[in-house]
Amino acid sequence: SGIIATSAMILILMGFLIWYLLHWVGRLRTIEQMKDDFTHNMTHELKTPVAVAYSAADSMLRYYDQSDEARNKQFLKIIMQRLSFLSGMIENILSMSMERFKTMKLNIEPVAIKPVVEDVSGMMGLKADKPVDINIDIPDNLSVRADSLHLGNILSNLIDNAIKYSGDSVNINIKADDRSITIADNGIGIEKGNLPYIFDKFYRVTSGDRYEAGGYGLGLFYVKQIVELLGWSIDVTSKPGQGTRFTIKFKSDEKR
Ligand code: ADP
Instruction: Report d(CA 206, CA 256) in Å as an integer.
Output: 43
- Which residue in 153, 165, 163 sits closest to 111, CA to CA? 153
Instruction: Report d(CA 134, CA 248) in Å as an integer.
Output: 18
- Pocket probe mutation, ligand 1, options 124, 199, 204, max atoms within 8 Å of Cβ: 204
Most confident range, picked from 37-41, 57-61, 181-185: 181-185
Instruction: Report d(CA 172, CA 18) in Å as an integer.
Output: 32
Contacts made by residues 211-216, CB under 8 angstroms, sequence distance 24+: 213/164, 213/165, 214/41, 214/44, 214/45, 214/164, 215/41, 215/164, 216/34, 216/37, 216/38, 216/41, 216/42, 216/45
Measured in Å, residue 65 CA sits from the centre of ligand 1 at: 43
Choice among 18-32, 118-132, 205-219 with the minimum mean pLDDT: 18-32
Q: Is the ipTM value over 0.95, yes or no?
A: yes
- Pocket probe mutation, ligand 1, options 96, 158, 192, 220, max atoms within 8 Å of Cβ: 220
pLDDT of residue 193: 92
Does residue 256 have a pLDDT over 60? no
Ligand 1 neighbours by CB, cut-off 6 Å: 157, 161-162, 165, 185, 187-190, 198, 203-205, 210, 215-221, 244
Q: Which atom of ligand 1 is nearest to the CA of 243?
A: 24
pLDDT of residue 185: 96
pLDDT of residue 37: 60
Question: Would you place residue 38 in the very low, low, confident or very high pLDDT band (cuts 50, 70, 90)?
Answer: low
Measured in Å, residue 166 CA sits from the centre of ligand 1 at: 11
Q: Is residue 60 packed enough to be buried (19+ CB in 10 Å), middle (13-18) or exposed (0-12)?
A: buried
Q: Is residue 172 packed enough to be buried (19+ CB in 10 Å), middle (13-18) or exposed (0-12)?
A: buried
Measured in Å, residue 104 CA sits from the centre of ligand 1 at: 24
pLDDT digits (tens, 9 = 90+) for 215-255: 778 889 889 989 998 999 999 999 999 999 999 999 865 44
For atom 21 of ligand 1, the residue with the nearest CA is 161
Average pLDDT value for the chain: 84
Planar angle of CA 202, 91, 58, nearest 5 degrees: 110
For atom 25 of ligand 1, the residue with the nearest CA is 189
Instruction: Report d(CA 170, CA 28) in Å as an integer.
Output: 35
Measured in Å, residue 193 CA sits from the centre of ligand 1 at: 14
Q: Once rounded to an integer, what is the mean pLDDT over residues 131-140?
A: 94
Measured in Å, residue 127 CA sits from the centre of ligand 1 at: 17
In the chain, what's the furthest Cα-to-Cα distance? Answer: 59
pLDDT of residue 255: 47
